[in-house]
Amino acid sequence: MDVRTFGKIALVGATPNPDKYGNVILKDLLQKDFEVLPVNPKYDEIEGLKCYHSVRELPGDVDVIVFVVPSRAGLDVAREAVEAGFRRLWFQPGAESDEIASFLDGEGVEYSFGRCIMVETM
C-alpha cells in the first residue's frame, strides 16, 4: 500500500487523550497535511475535527482507514468497514490479528499489518 496516494485518512481509535496513540497519530498526520477523519463512538469532536461515531458514517472518498484499537475491537470494525464498501485498511502494530487477516483475505481487501503509519509517512 503506497502511503503517497493517501489524502483523506480515517483514524479508528482517535482520542483527545494526548497520552494515547490515537491522539499522537492524529496530530502527526495533521502536521503532515493529511485530511484526517477521527472515528470514535465516545466523542463528537477531537482536536477541533468532527468525530464520526462509526465507519458507516464516513464519506465514501476516504483513501484508507487506519486502525489504532485493540485487535479484539478491530475485527468488528473491519467487518463494518468492508460492509460499508471500504477496501483499504491499515492496522497499526498491535491492532492486527490472524482472525482479522483471515476475514480480510476472504473479502479481497487491501490491508497492511506491522507497519506504523507515522513512520511510513515520514
Q: Determine contact, residues 6/34, Cβ cutoff 8 Å.
A: yes
The arithmetic mean of pLDDT across residues 15-36, rounded, is 97
DSSP code, position 61: T
pLDDT confidence of 122, banded at 50, 70, 90?
confident
* Phi, then psi, of 56 in degrees rounded to 5: -65, -25
Taking residues 41-49, report their average pLDDT: 97
Distance CA 43, CA 32 (A): 23
Q: In this model, does residue 74 exceed pLDDT 90?
A: yes
- Domains for the chain: give ranges and CATH numbers: 3-120 (3.40.50.720)
